[in-house]
Chains A and B, each alone.
Chain A
Amino acid sequence: MEIWSLPFSPSQRAKLLSAGYTYLHSFSHLSPSALAAGAQTAWDILCEDRTMNHITTSCEDLDGILGGGISCKEITEVGGVPGIGKTQLGIQLAVNVQIPVEYGGLGGKAIYVDTEGSFMVERAFQIAESCIQDIMDKVLQTDDVGVCQENLHVNAILANIFYFRICSYTEQIAVVNYLEKFISAQKDVKIIIIDSVTFHFRQDFDDLALRTRVLSALAQKMMKLAKKFNLAVVLLNQVTTKCTDGSFQLTLALGESWSHACTNRIILYWKGNERCAYLDKSPSLPLSAAPFSVTTKGIRSVASSCKRMRTT
C-alpha cells in the first residue's frame, strides 16, 4: 500500500517520503526508535553521561563544583574581569588534557585559539613542568618512576598544543570552520580553547543582529564539534558593564543571546583578595562557588593551611 493512500497529515507524509519510505510494508515492522533515526532513549543518555570524561583543573575545589572537571561534549564558557586568571585556566586545561590515562587524565591533545595574544609560551612551559612534577610526586609512591620519566617531557606537552593566532573576526570564523577537517586528521584532540571569543567582536559591528547571527553560528559549530569528536570546548569571555535602570552592572560580554549558547558557565571573580569561581549555569549541577588560586605552578587550590586558619 502506497503512502499516498494512507491517512497521514501532509507534514508526516513529507517526512516519511524524505526518509525514503514509499510503501507501508517498508516501515510497518520498524520499532518507533528505529524510525526516529538518531533518537536515543533517556537511559542510553544517562549511561553515556556516567562515563563522560572530565578534564581536571588542578584545583580540587573547582573540580568539585564542576563534577570532576570540565566536561567533554559540552561548551563551557568562562568569564571574568581582566587579570582574574582566564588565560591561566585556559593554559592549565591545555596541559591537563594531556595527562596520560593511567594517571587520571584523557591523554589527548589541545587546540588553543588565541585572539588576544595573551598566551605566553614561558608560562605554558612553567605550567607543564609543574604538571609533570605533580604526576611524578604521585608516582613516586609506586614503582613506575622510570617509565613515567621517559614518557612525560615538557617539550612533548608543548608540541601537543596546537596554537592558532588569529587577528580578526573573519580569521576566527575561518579557523572554527576549518577545525572539523583539522580534528578529523589529528584524531586525538580532546579540548578546544578560544581565548577570548569576544575580543574581535567588540568593534566594527554596527549591525548587532549580524553579530548575533555570526556568534550563534559559531556556537553551533563548536557544539557540533564537541558532540561529534567527544571533546570539551572552553570559550573565554570578557566582562562589560550593562546599564539597567540607571545603575551599572557587571555582565559577560556579547549580549543576552550569546548567554544561551553555552552549556555551562563559570564566572571568575575577586572575593576580597581571593579568587573565586562561581558555576553560574549548568544543566545538571547545583550552582555553587569555589575558591582557587593562581600560583607559579598554575591553577591550584587555595593552600590548605589557609583553610585551617579561616575556620578557627
Chain B
Amino acid sequence: MSSYALEQEGEETLNPIPLTLISFQKCTLGCPILDSFFNGGIPCGSITELVSESSCGKTQLSLQLLLCSLLPRSHGGLNSTSLYIFSEPPFPFRRLKTLSATFKHPNPSPSFDPCDHILVHGVQTSEELLEFLDRVETLISQPLIRPVKLVVLDSVAALFRSEFDNHLADLSRRSSLFFKIASKLKALASKFEVAIVVTNQVVDSVGLEGLNEVQVGNYSCLFSSGRKVCPALGLSWANCVNSRVFLSRDEEKVADNKMWGSNSQALSENGGFEDGYGDFRTRTRRKMQVVFAPHLPKFSCEFEIRRDGVFGVKP
C-alpha cells in the first residue's frame, strides 16, 4: 500500500493509510512452536533477516517457508506463489523435493505439485540483483491465481564477499548498494504486501576496537559453535533490515547413558573423563534468538532439523 492516490482530476494527492487497513498477515513456519516464537510467523511488508554460520538451517528454514506460503490463509499461509532468489548455486533442489514430499496441503487439486508454485532465479552480483528486482515488480503485479507474496533472498552476503576491498571508497560504495537493495525490497514489500526473507552469513568477531564491537540488538555477543561471531556486512546492512533472527548451533557433550549404568569400575580404570571420546557423545543443539525486531521481545527458542523439516523444541 502506498500513500499516493490518483484523484479523478489527475492530480496526485497524499493520503494517510488507515492503520486498520494495514496488513497483519504473517506466513506460518509450519511449526506451532516456531510460530509462537515469531508471534504468528514471518510478517508481510517488512524484511526479516536470518543470520547464521553455515549449516545451521537457514536454507532449510527458507525452503520450508516457500512451501508454507502455499497454504491457505485459514492454515496460516499466504496462499501464494513464492520467489526464491539464490546467490550461491546450485539451488538445493533435492532438499526441496524431499520437503515437498511430506508437505500436506489441505485442499490439493489432483495434479497439485508444490514445486509448480515456487519460482527460482539465480544472481551472482549485486548489480544483477538490482536489475532483477526491477523486473520482479512487473512479475508480482501480474494477476496470477496465487500472487507472489513471499520472496526469499539466499544469501545477501554472498553477493558482496568478493568484489569489494577494504578501502574507504569501496566501503561507501558497498554501503550505498545495501541501501539501494533494501530500498527496492522494502518498496516491493510495502506496495504488494509481500514478506521478504533475507539470509546472511557471519564473520568471526576478533575482539579489536572497531566496527565489529558495536552492540546491535539485544545481545552484546553472539556465539555459534563456541566462537564469538557477528553478522556479515556490518552496521550499514543492519540498518537496512527490519528484523534480525540469529540461528546458532553448539556441540554439546552429553554423557553416554549406556556406559554409566553398568561396569562403572571399568570407566574409572579407563580414566576417560578428560578427553571423553569413549564416554561422551556430542549432540548438536540449535537455537534461534531475536536480535532485534519491532514487534518481538528478546526471545530465544531451541529447534531441530528433521527429515520432514525444521521444528521447534518445547522448552
Contacts and interface: CB of A to CB of B under 8 A. Distances in A.
Interface in A169-219: 171, 174-175, 178, 182, 198-200, 202-204
Given A120-B43, A167-B190, A111 B16 contact: yes
A53 interface: no
Main secondary structure of the interface of A (DSSP, over half): mixed
Contact of A165 (B1, B43, B47, B218): B1
A165 B2 contact: yes
Interface in B202-244: 209-211, 214-218, 220, 235-236, 238-239, 241-242, 244
B180 A204 contact: yes
Nearest to B45: A117
A7 interface: no
Given A82-B217, A83-B244, A204-B176, A171 B4 contact: yes
Contacts of B217: 82-83
A207 B209 CA distance: 32
A25 to B, nearest CB: 49
A123 interface: yes
Given A82-B216, A199-B183, A175 B297 contact: no
Contacts of B18: 159, 163
A174 B217 CA distance: 32
A241 B22 CA distance: 34
Interface in B1-53: 1-4, 13-14, 16-20, 22, 24, 39, 43, 45-47
Contact of B190 (A117, A124, A250): A117
A162 B295 contact: no
B294 A119 contact: yes
B190 A200 contact: no
B20 A123 contact: no
Contacts of A273: 220
A250 to B, nearest CB: 6
A178 to B, nearest CB: 5
Specify which of A118, A168, A199 lies most central, judged by the most chain B CB atoms within 10 Å of its CB. A118
Given A83-B244, A167-B2, A171-B4, A116 B186 contact: yes
A289 interface: no
Contacts of A164: 3, 14, 16-17
B153 interface: no
Contacts of A168: 183, 187
Contacts of A247: 209-210
Contacts of A163: 16-19, 22
B238 A82 contact: yes
A241 B211 contact: yes
Given A159-B18, A164-B14, A167-B186, A81 B216 contact: yes
A121 B39 CA distance: 13
Nearest to A186: B16
Contacts of B13: 178
Nearest to A90: B294
Contacts of A81: 214-216, 235, 238
Contact of A167 (B177, B191, B209): B191
A166 B3 contact: yes
B220 A243 contact: no
A175 B216 contact: no
A181 to B, nearest CB: 9
Given A83-B216, A166-B3, A243-B168, A161 B19 contact: yes
B300 interface: no
B211 A167 contact: no
A202 B242 contact: no
B43 A270 contact: no
A243 to B, nearest CB: 6
Interface in A120-147: 120-124
A203 B190 contact: no
A306 B217 CA distance: 21
A121 B24 CA distance: 7
B288 interface: no
Nearest to B219: A273
A164 B209 CA distance: 40
Interface string A228-245: 000000000011110100
B119 to A, nearest CB: 23
Contact of A240 (B22, B209, B236, B244): B236
A11 interface: no
Given A83-B217, A164-B14, A167-B191, A121 B3 contact: no
A92 interface: no
B86 interface: no
Contacts of A241: 211, 235
Given A167-B190, A270-B220, A155 B292 contact: no
Specify which of B16, B45, B211 lies most central, judged by the most chain A CB atoms within 10 Å of its CB. B16
A175 B3 contact: yes
Nearest to A179: B14
Nearest to A122: B295
B311 interface: no
Given A81-B235, A83-B238, A202-B239, 9 more contacts: A117-B45, A117-B189, A117-B242, A164-B17, A166-B2, A168-B183, A171-B4, A202-B175, A202-B179
18 contacts: A82-B217, A83-B218, A116-B186, A117-B47, A117-B190, A118-B46, A124-B19, A155-B20, A158-B20, A164-B3, A164-B16, A165-B2, A175-B3, A199-B183, A239-B235, A240-B175, A247-B210, A248-B210
Interface of A: 81-83, 87-88, 111, 116-124, 155, 158-159, 161-168, 171, 174-175, 178, 182, 198-200, 202-204, 238-241, 243, 247-248, 250, 270, 272-273, 296
A-B residue pairs, 4 tightest by C-beta: A83-B292, A83-B217, A203-B179, A162-B16
